[in-house]
Structure 1
Amino acid sequence: MFRGTVFATWGDVIVNTATATRRFRDLRFFLLFPRQGL
C-alpha cells in the first residue's frame, strides 16, 4: 500500500511538472510573440 502511494505521488509530480512546463512554454511563447498571442 505504501508503494502504491509513493507511485501515485510520483505520478502526480510528473503530471504537475509536465503541466507547469507546458504553461511555462506557452507563457514564453506569448512573451516572445505578443502580437501573435493576441
Structure 2
Amino acid sequence: MPSFEQGLEQVIELLLLSEINLKFRRFVNGSPGGNQH
C-alpha cells in the first residue's frame, strides 16, 4: 500500500501540473498567434 506521504506527493505534483497547464493555456490564448476556443 502507498504511504500517506507518497499520496501527498502525488497530489502536490498534480496540483503543480494543473497550475502550470492553466498558466500555459492563458499564455497561449493571450498571445496573438494563440488558438481561440
Q: TM-score, normalised by structure 1?
A: 0.72
Shift of 1:5: 0.6
User: Where does residue 37 of structure 1 map in the other structure?
Assistant: 36
User: Size of the alignment, in residue pairs?
Assistant: 36
Unaligned runs of at least 5 residues, structure 2 = none
Larger fraction in helix:
1
Structure-1 separation of matches of 2:21 and 2:10? 17
TM-score, normalising length: structure 2: 0.73
Q: Which of these two proteins has the greater Rg computed from alpha carbons?
A: 1
Unaligned runs of 5+ in 1: none
**Aligned structure 1 segments of 4 or more residues deviating by more than 4 angstroms:** none
Deviation at 1:34, TM superposition (A): 7.3
